[in-house]
Protein backbone atom coordinates (compact mmCIF):
# COMPACT_ATOMS: atom_id res chain seq x y z
CA UNK A 1 0.00 0.00 0.00
CA UNK A 2 1.24 3.49 -0.88
CA UNK A 3 1.66 6.02 1.93
CA UNK A 4 -1.21 8.52 1.99
CA UNK A 5 -0.13 12.16 2.12
CA UNK A 6 -2.51 14.97 2.99
CA UNK A 7 -1.97 18.38 1.38
CA UNK A 8 -3.53 21.58 2.67
CA UNK A 9 -4.95 23.63 -0.22
CA UNK A 10 -5.00 27.39 -0.46
CA UNK A 11 -8.34 29.14 0.06
CA UNK A 12 -9.68 32.16 -1.82
CA UNK A 13 -12.27 33.70 0.51
CA UNK A 14 -13.45 36.20 -2.12
CA UNK A 15 -14.96 33.38 -4.19
CA UNK A 16 -15.09 30.65 -1.51
CA UNK A 17 -12.85 28.36 -3.53
CA UNK A 18 -10.03 25.97 -2.59
CA UNK A 19 -7.08 25.62 -4.94
CA UNK A 20 -3.83 23.69 -5.16
CA UNK A 21 -1.01 23.88 -7.68
CA UNK A 22 -0.51 20.75 -9.77
CA UNK A 23 3.19 20.73 -8.80
CA UNK A 24 2.33 19.50 -5.29
CA UNK A 25 0.28 16.61 -6.63
CA UNK A 26 2.96 15.65 -9.14
CA UNK A 27 5.79 15.77 -6.60
CA UNK A 28 3.97 13.54 -4.12
CA UNK A 29 2.75 11.11 -6.78
CA UNK A 30 6.18 10.87 -8.42
CA UNK A 31 7.76 10.09 -5.05
CA UNK A 32 5.45 7.08 -4.73
CA UNK A 33 2.60 8.23 -2.48
CA UNK A 34 -1.11 8.89 -2.80
CA UNK A 35 -1.97 12.60 -2.35
CA UNK A 36 -5.29 13.72 -0.85
CA UNK A 37 -6.53 17.20 0.12
CA UNK A 38 -7.20 18.21 3.71
CA UNK A 39 -9.99 20.72 4.23
CA UNK A 40 -10.66 22.92 7.29
CA UNK A 41 -12.54 21.41 10.21
CA UNK A 42 -11.95 17.87 9.02
CA UNK A 43 -10.25 15.54 11.47
CA UNK A 44 -6.96 13.88 10.57
CA UNK A 45 -7.89 10.68 8.70
CA UNK A 46 -6.70 7.58 10.58
CA UNK A 47 -5.04 6.32 7.39
CA UNK A 48 -2.93 9.47 6.89
CA UNK A 49 0.86 8.95 6.85
CA UNK A 50 2.16 12.48 6.30
CA UNK A 51 1.13 16.10 5.74
CA UNK A 52 2.34 18.77 3.32
CA UNK A 53 1.53 22.32 4.38
CA UNK A 54 1.48 24.18 1.07
CA UNK A 55 2.26 27.77 0.13
CA UNK A 56 -0.17 30.65 -0.06
CA UNK A 57 -0.97 34.04 1.42
CA UNK A 58 0.00 35.78 4.63
CA UNK A 59 -0.77 34.58 8.15
CA UNK A 60 -2.78 36.70 10.58
CA UNK A 61 -0.22 38.51 12.80
CA UNK A 62 -2.61 38.35 15.76
CA UNK A 63 -1.88 34.62 15.86
CA UNK A 64 1.68 35.38 16.94
CA UNK A 65 0.72 38.32 19.16
CA UNK A 66 1.53 41.17 16.78
CA UNK A 67 -0.54 43.94 15.26
CA UNK A 68 -0.60 43.96 11.42
CA UNK A 69 1.85 46.20 9.62
CA UNK A 70 0.71 48.21 6.61
CA UNK A 71 2.72 45.83 4.40
CA UNK A 72 0.94 42.72 5.71
CA UNK A 73 -1.08 41.09 2.91
CA UNK A 74 -4.40 39.30 2.56
CA UNK A 75 -5.12 36.65 5.19
CA UNK A 76 -7.42 33.64 5.38
CA UNK A 77 -8.66 33.18 8.97
CA UNK A 78 -10.30 29.87 8.01
CA UNK A 79 -7.05 28.45 6.68
CA UNK A 80 -4.88 29.90 9.47
CA UNK A 81 -6.96 28.45 12.29
CA UNK A 82 -7.22 25.00 10.72
CA UNK A 83 -3.58 24.63 9.68
CA UNK A 84 -2.10 25.77 12.96
CA UNK A 85 -4.36 23.40 14.89
CA UNK A 86 -3.63 20.61 12.41
CA UNK A 87 0.12 21.16 12.68
CA UNK A 88 0.09 21.00 16.48
CA UNK A 89 -1.89 17.76 16.41
CA UNK A 90 0.41 16.27 13.77
CA UNK A 91 3.52 17.14 15.81
CA UNK A 92 1.94 15.60 18.91
CA UNK A 93 1.20 12.40 16.98
CA UNK A 94 4.64 12.39 15.32
CA UNK A 95 3.10 12.47 11.83
CA UNK A 96 5.76 13.41 9.23
CA UNK A 97 5.42 17.01 8.05
CA UNK A 98 6.82 18.92 5.09
CA UNK A 99 6.12 22.66 5.17
CA UNK A 100 6.63 24.65 1.98
CA UNK A 101 6.96 28.45 1.95
CA UNK A 102 3.92 29.59 3.98
CA UNK A 103 3.82 26.02 5.29
CA UNK A 104 7.19 26.50 6.96
CA UNK A 105 5.85 29.63 8.65
CA UNK A 106 2.78 27.71 9.83
CA UNK A 107 5.02 25.12 11.51
CA UNK A 108 6.96 27.83 13.30
CA UNK A 109 3.88 29.72 14.51
CA UNK A 110 2.13 26.50 15.57
CA UNK A 111 5.10 25.73 17.84
CA UNK A 112 5.17 29.18 19.42
CA UNK A 113 7.47 31.08 17.07
CA UNK A 114 7.01 34.31 15.14
CA UNK A 115 7.55 35.56 11.60
CA UNK A 116 8.56 38.82 9.98
CA UNK A 117 5.44 40.36 8.49
CA UNK A 118 7.53 42.04 5.82
CA UNK A 119 11.20 41.30 5.24
CA UNK A 120 12.23 44.61 3.72
CA UNK A 121 10.60 46.68 6.47
CA UNK A 122 11.59 44.59 9.48
CA UNK A 123 15.03 43.32 8.49
CA UNK A 124 16.24 45.82 5.92
CA UNK A 125 17.25 42.99 3.58
CA UNK A 126 18.13 44.05 0.04
CA UNK A 127 18.06 40.50 -1.35
CA UNK A 128 15.22 39.75 -3.79
CA UNK A 129 13.03 37.13 -2.11
CA UNK A 130 10.04 37.45 -4.42
CA UNK A 131 11.48 36.53 -7.76
CA UNK A 132 10.44 37.67 -11.22
CA UNK A 133 11.50 34.50 -13.00
CA UNK A 134 9.93 31.17 -14.01
CA UNK A 135 8.54 29.24 -11.04
CA UNK A 136 10.98 26.36 -11.51
CA UNK A 137 14.08 28.57 -11.73
CA UNK A 138 16.38 29.14 -8.74
CA UNK A 139 17.30 32.78 -8.18
CA UNK A 140 19.27 33.01 -4.91
CA UNK A 141 21.56 30.89 -2.77
CA UNK A 142 21.13 29.39 0.67
CA UNK A 143 23.75 28.14 3.10
CA UNK A 144 22.93 24.81 4.75
CA UNK A 145 23.76 24.26 8.41
CA UNK A 146 26.14 21.44 9.31
CA UNK A 147 24.75 18.35 11.05
CA UNK A 148 21.21 19.17 9.94
CA UNK A 149 18.65 16.92 8.29
CA UNK A 150 18.84 19.13 5.20
CA UNK A 151 22.62 18.73 5.06
CA UNK A 152 22.25 14.96 5.25
CA UNK A 153 19.64 14.92 2.48
CA UNK A 154 21.35 17.25 0.01
CA UNK A 155 24.99 16.64 0.90
CA UNK A 156 25.89 20.25 0.11
CA UNK A 157 26.77 23.43 1.95
CA UNK A 158 25.24 25.77 -0.60
CA UNK A 159 22.35 25.39 -3.08
CA UNK A 160 20.27 27.69 -5.29
CA UNK A 161 16.52 27.91 -4.68
CA UNK A 162 13.45 29.65 -6.06
CA UNK A 163 11.80 32.31 -3.93
CA UNK A 164 8.24 33.72 -3.66
CA UNK A 165 7.81 35.36 -0.26
CA UNK A 166 7.89 38.67 1.60
CA UNK A 167 7.58 37.09 5.04
CA UNK A 168 10.03 34.84 6.88
CA UNK A 169 10.62 32.99 10.15
CA UNK A 170 11.85 35.28 12.93
CA UNK A 171 11.86 33.79 16.47
CA UNK A 172 12.05 29.98 16.35
CA UNK A 173 9.26 27.86 17.79
CA UNK A 174 9.74 25.18 20.45
CA UNK A 175 11.79 22.15 19.42
CA UNK A 176 12.95 23.68 16.15
CA UNK A 177 16.40 24.44 14.80
CA UNK A 178 17.65 26.35 11.77
CA UNK A 179 18.60 24.16 8.78
CA UNK A 180 19.57 26.87 6.28
CA UNK A 181 19.86 30.63 5.81
CA UNK A 182 20.04 32.93 2.81
CA UNK A 183 23.08 35.14 2.37
CA UNK A 184 21.31 38.05 4.08
CA UNK A 185 20.85 35.93 7.22
CA UNK A 186 17.16 35.09 6.84
CA UNK A 187 16.05 31.61 7.89
CA UNK A 188 15.35 29.49 4.80
CA UNK A 189 14.75 26.07 6.38
CA UNK A 190 13.83 24.67 9.79
CA UNK A 191 13.53 21.18 11.26
CA UNK A 192 12.32 19.55 14.46
CA UNK A 193 15.05 18.23 16.71
CA UNK A 194 13.13 15.19 18.00
CA UNK A 195 10.22 14.21 15.76
CA UNK A 196 10.48 11.57 13.06
CA UNK A 197 10.33 14.13 10.24
CA UNK A 198 9.34 17.79 10.45
CA UNK A 199 11.03 19.91 7.79
CA UNK A 200 10.08 23.39 6.62
CA UNK A 201 11.61 25.07 3.57
CA UNK A 202 11.00 28.63 2.45
CA UNK A 203 11.32 27.81 -1.24
CA UNK A 204 9.19 25.60 -3.54
CA UNK A 205 10.98 22.28 -4.18
CA UNK A 206 7.85 20.84 -5.81
CA UNK A 207 8.17 23.45 -8.58
CA UNK A 208 11.91 23.08 -9.17
CA UNK A 209 11.64 19.37 -9.85
CA UNK A 210 15.41 18.83 -9.88
CA UNK A 211 17.09 15.61 -8.77
CA UNK A 212 18.43 17.55 -5.79
CA UNK A 213 15.04 18.87 -4.67
CA UNK A 214 13.32 15.53 -5.24
CA UNK A 215 15.48 14.16 -2.43
CA UNK A 216 13.34 16.16 0.02
CA UNK A 217 10.19 14.37 -1.11
CA UNK A 218 11.92 10.99 -1.14
CA UNK A 219 13.05 11.46 2.46
CA UNK A 220 9.60 12.69 3.46
CA UNK A 221 8.01 9.61 1.89
CA UNK A 222 10.52 7.32 3.63
CA UNK A 223 9.46 8.86 6.94
CA UNK A 224 5.79 8.44 5.97
CA UNK A 225 6.39 4.76 5.27
CA UNK A 226 8.04 4.35 8.66
CA UNK A 227 5.13 6.12 10.32
CA UNK A 228 2.73 3.82 8.47
CA UNK A 229 4.57 0.80 9.86
CA UNK A 230 5.00 2.02 13.45
CA UNK A 231 2.21 4.55 13.96
CA UNK A 232 4.87 7.07 14.96
CA UNK A 233 5.62 5.26 18.21
CA UNK A 234 9.27 4.62 17.45
CA UNK A 235 10.11 7.74 15.51
CA UNK A 236 11.53 10.12 18.13
CA UNK A 237 15.13 11.02 17.40
CA UNK A 238 17.79 13.27 18.87
CA UNK A 239 19.46 15.66 16.47
CA UNK A 240 22.04 18.30 17.29
CA UNK A 241 20.37 21.61 18.13
Catalytic residues: 101, 204, 206
Q: Is the dihedral of CA 52, 38, 85, 229 positive or negative?
A: negative
- Among residues 211, 216, 218, 212, which one has the least CA distance to residue 32? 218
Q: Is the dihedral of CA 215, 35, 3, 80 positive or negative?
A: positive
Q: How far apart are the first and last CA of the chain?
A: 35
Measured in degrees and rounded to the nearest 5, phi and psi for residue 152 equal: -65, -40
Whether 64 contacts 115, CB under 8 Å: yes
Report DSSP state, residue 61. Answer: G
Amino acid sequence: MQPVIGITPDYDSSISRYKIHQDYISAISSAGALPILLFPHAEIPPFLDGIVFSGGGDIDPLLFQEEPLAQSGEISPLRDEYEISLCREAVDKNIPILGICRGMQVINIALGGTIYQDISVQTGSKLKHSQQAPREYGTHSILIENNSLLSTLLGKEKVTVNSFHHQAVALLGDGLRVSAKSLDGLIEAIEHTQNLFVLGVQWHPEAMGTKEQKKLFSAFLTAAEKFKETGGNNGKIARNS
